[in-house]
Amino acid sequence: MNNIPKIILASKSPRRQELLTLMDLDFRIVLKEVDESYPDDLAPEEIALYIAQKKATAFDETVTDEIVLTADTIVSIEGHILGKPETEEHAVEMLQILSGKTHQVITGVCLLYKHQYHSFYEVSEVTFRQISETEIRHYISKYKPMDKAGSYGIQEWVGVTGIKKINGSYTNVVGLPTERLYSELIKLIATL
């Protein structure tokens, strides 16, 4: 589609894989271990970009004619970052923090192509209705959202029953802002 080169997706996220498939992009998955720590003084948008770029840097020496796509999604509420939960109780605490409030989901994306880095981020605002502890515990025990920032997947039960409003890209909340990604890919190949 539009002569976009084959993509190396540096993510084990099945949601990102599904989104790229829906975009009709040709890709393969290559994983590299990367330390996802970041400096304490970064704003939420900077954190997502910093980690996405750090992931891309791991591929710089082995890059070919494929585009390396890395991404990092974070959840931010009132200046606090909610990463992936460490325990089920931690997941309960996170969802209690999000319950009845609006938070931001920020995805930083880095495209590495022929040793050139092209990065961007997308922000979506998500508003949850008030969710009871019983509902939260049901969701966590059934869906095990331990691999998700903020302890939830918008495409799962808590998303379809608990989210009142989204301002911005839905696919960004899933883990990859597909419309913006497609536009950036077209721009990238046009400039090289």
User: What gap in Å lies between CA 116 and CA 192, rounded to an integer?
Assistant: 10
DSSP state of 78: T
Which is catalytic among the residues 35, 60, 65, 72?
Answer: 72
Catalytic residue list contains 26: no
Distance of CA 176 to the CA centre of its chain: 5
User: What gap in Å lies between CA 108 and CA 126, rounded to an integer?
Assistant: 17
**3 state SS of 122:** strand
| Residues in a beta bridge with 48 | none
Helices within the chain (DSSP H only): 14-22, 44-57, 88-98, 133-143, 157-162, 170-174, 178-191
Give the residue numbers annotated as catalytic, written as ranges.
Answer: 72
